[in-house]
Amino acid sequence: MEDTMGQLDGKTAIITGASRGIGAETARLFAREGAKVALVARSEAAITALAEEIGPNARAYPLDISDYSGMKAMISDVAKAFGVPDILINNAGVIEPIARFTDADPAAWGEVIDINLKGVFNGAHAVAGAMAERGSGTIITISSGAAHNALEGWSHYCVSKAGAAMLTDCLHKELAEAGLRIMGLSPGTVATEMQVQIKASGLNPVSQLDFSVHIPADWPAKCLLWMCTPESDAYLGQEISLRDETIRATLGLTA
């Protein structure tokens, strides 16, 4: 008889930025692998439709991750509905408005920091205590090459991603002994709406890339699934790059 056990059977996963792209593909894959999934995004219509598509093992939470009280309330509701979360995927992130530093709007610049950096803190802080008390849990943050390389027009994005990468390092240093699995994933350029925004800006070399060179969103989803299993334990505390051919070969991903 064929084994129908899913890799995430019995697990509860929270996925931020679940309305489209990497987040939506990850939600679908995790649900197929047996997880109960909490879908978090500002786009209520999109995550409600996705939750309906997935079925009873999905719940939609329309909220802004930069609001700590909202994140805390969401995680409390998830724990009541599905159990204490086993997995947090910090995927939500924005890049607009793309602008050279001297043209940047201070309020808009700060909003990107609130989402891309404070949002990661909010999710991790709201769930880490219960995970540590239980002695297990996985927290993965979507990183970027922009965390390590400055790019014209992206000061807000580069700074927020660099901060999130350092926060991931801090979480590993503080929480690994409590049994938490902390990692980052730098997926490279992915064929999502963000790349449409980047191309429209015309700033820096990334905007000049042809859309055909970007990887599909299900590749990072497959990597995230693998990162949530013991098979990836050798990479705990590290930032995995999906540009790494060794990682791609491990996952069976080919262009």
Domain boundaries, the chain: 12-251
- Residue-level pLDDT at 254: 78
Span between the terminal Cα atoms of the chain, in Å: 33
Cα–Cα distance measured from residue 136 to residue 82, given in angstroms and rounded to the nearest whole number: 16
| pTM higher than the cut 0.85 | yes
Using only C-alpha atoms, the chain has a radius of gyration, in whole angstroms, of: 17
pLDDT, residue 1, reads 33
Mean pLDDT of successive 10-residue stretches along the chain, which has 255 residues: 74 97 97 97 96 97 97 96 96 94 96 97 97 97 95 96 98 98 95 86 85 89 97 97 94 84
User: Dihedral, CA atoms, 203, 19, 247, 156, nearest 10 degrees?
Assistant: 30
**Strand positions, DSSP E, the chain:** 12-16, 36-41, 58-62, 87-90, 137-142, 180-186, 239-241
Catalytic residues: 157
The Cα 143–Cα 168 span in angstroms is: 9
Name the CATH topology of 12-251.
Answer: Rossmann fold (3.40.50)
In the numeric block, the tokens 């995970």 are attached to 131
